[in-house]
Amino acid sequence: MRPTIITMQSSSGGNGISCCCCFRCCTCVNLNFLKTEIGVLKTLEIILGMICHSLVLNFGTQYAGTIGSSYQSFLTIASWCTLTTTLLIVCYIVSPRSLGLIRQSLFETAFNTIAAFSYFTACSYLAYAVNMFLQPLALMSSMFQAYPAVSTAYMLGTFVGILYGYDAWKSWTIYRNFR
């Protein structure tokens, strides 16, 4: 049986925060990660997930009884994915070594795949409930704001699911190449 070899990215200069243009502080912080493709992808997943969460909380809470468990499932999925992605991005920023270790592990691939699948199922369930129960209410009143807001949330959530799917594919290729 061959031993498992884990490759580590070398720590390059330029880490930390530039202070007074003459020295760097907090060199343990790797803010350059946010400029990479993975960093931009993770940041988009967090921001768009928070927007989805906010839209459903602000406009859908009043109608949670009307749209049923699709409301709770969407909120649970958005919260879970946003929290885990935030934790991952904090680990990647604080420790460049964790980027090398976690990114090429099976955890990253499994998490992104499950997150993409969860977003797709929660969004389709919410879309069904919104179009079945909130659309008739929206047709009766022109001032009904919940229907367009929650519709935007599940459409945006579908895009977040696509982002997680792309991230799963990228992490799978990294996992496959380092196995």
Q: Are 48 and 160 in contact (CB under 8 A)?
A: yes
Q: Are 157 and 122 in contact (CB under 8 A)?
A: yes
Give dist(CA 23, CA 34) in Å, integer. Answer: 21
Read off the pLDDT of residues 42-101 as tens digits, 9 standing for 90 and up.
999 999 999 999 999 999 898 899 898 999 999 999 999 999 999 999 999 998 888 888
Q: Hey, which residues does 23 pair with through a beta bridge?
A: 19
**Of 75, 49, 50, 52, nearest to 64 (Cα)?**
75
**Of 76, 50, 60, 46, nearest to 150 (Cα)?**
60
User: How many other CB atoms are found less than 10 A from the CB of residue 113?
Assistant: 17
pLDDT-based confidence at 136, cuts 50/70/90?
A: confident
Read off the pLDDT of residues 18-36 as tens digits, 9 standing for 90 and up.
666 665 556 678 888 999 9
Give dist(CA 134, CA 101) in Å, integer. Answer: 46
